[in-house]
Amino acid sequence: MSPESSEQAADSIAKLAADLRRLKLDAGGPTLSKLQNETGVSRSVISEALAGKQLPSERTVASLVQALGQDPTPWLARREDLARIERPTPNTDEPGRAMGMSVRTGALIGIASFLGGALATAAAAFAVLPLLTPSPSAAEASQQIVVETGEDPALTACVDDARVATGDTRADNSLLEIVWSDKCQAGWGRITRYDGLYQGNTVTIAIYPQTAPDGPDRQEATEHDVQGAYTTLVVRPSRDTLLCAEGSFTVDGKRIDLGDPLCI
């Protein structure tokens, strides 16, 4: 398939992402981990590109489209056209830069990029990040967008109203977060490391209902050679149930635990 032409409809980043998702389905629906291995682009960055909340880099578009069996040339031309009308956003698939930290809504997919020179300031800011728990009215609301535990949030509409519900700076200036969607009544965990030691190491993040830390709803992800990782969705079983996230990463094979769970 080819990207939607501007003659058919005004283009947008969201439409580009929708076409990329259709291309992925046409290619048999390869997993994000498989695409990461084939492209050299991290799973997190690929998810951001498929979510459509910010313009992906040329490298991401070219690598992803080629891995999905298509000629990237028209896709790159389309991206260039979009770049002319969209304010540039930080490129998150270069070594030494953190995984995106907020999308348009301050949630999962790409929330402010933190460059190495600004790391100390960023870490201090997140150390005092206020707890943004869902409002009582939101907590009492029913699920407006039907999703299931285990779905990738980047491929759902949950990212549309997602926000960081709580975040805390942990060991070695790593950042542990829970991202929450009121409309989906679901959350997911995310961890970002800022030590620059991701090559040859792993990042692990888990989220679960506090009532059943090791139950069937526990979602856990371990990624290799990346600065950040996030889990799949956990739908809140009830409005009184807390969701908790915990994480760790490795340095030269040694596991660094991030301490007590973070809960909302």
User: Where is pLDDT greater, at 7 or 205?
Assistant: 205
Find the angle CA(240)-CA(105)-CA(154) to the nearest 5 degrees.
80
User: Where is pLDDT greater, at 200 or 31?
Assistant: 200
Return the closest-CA partner of residue 101 out of 54, 158, 59, 135.
54
- pLDDT given at position 6: 38
User: Where is pLDDT greater, at 207 or 54?
Assistant: 207
Distance between CA atoms of residues 173 and 158, nearest Å? 28
Check: CB of residue 209 under 8 Å from CB of residue 237: yes
Decide if pLDDT at 77 tops 80: yes
Q: Give the mean pLDDT of 80-96.
A: 58
Decide if pLDDT at 231 tops 70: yes
Read off the pLDDT band of 3 (50, 70, 90). low
pLDDT in tens, 93-129: 433 333 333 333 333 334 333 333 334 334 443 433 4
pLDDT in tens, 16-68: 988 999 898 888 888 888 888 888 888 878 888 888 878 888 889 999 999 99
- Average per-residue pLDDT for the chain: 79
- pLDDT given at position 143: 87
- pLDDT given at position 30: 85
- pLDDT given at position 255: 95
Q: Give the mean pLDDT of 142-166.
A: 91
Residue 163 identity: R
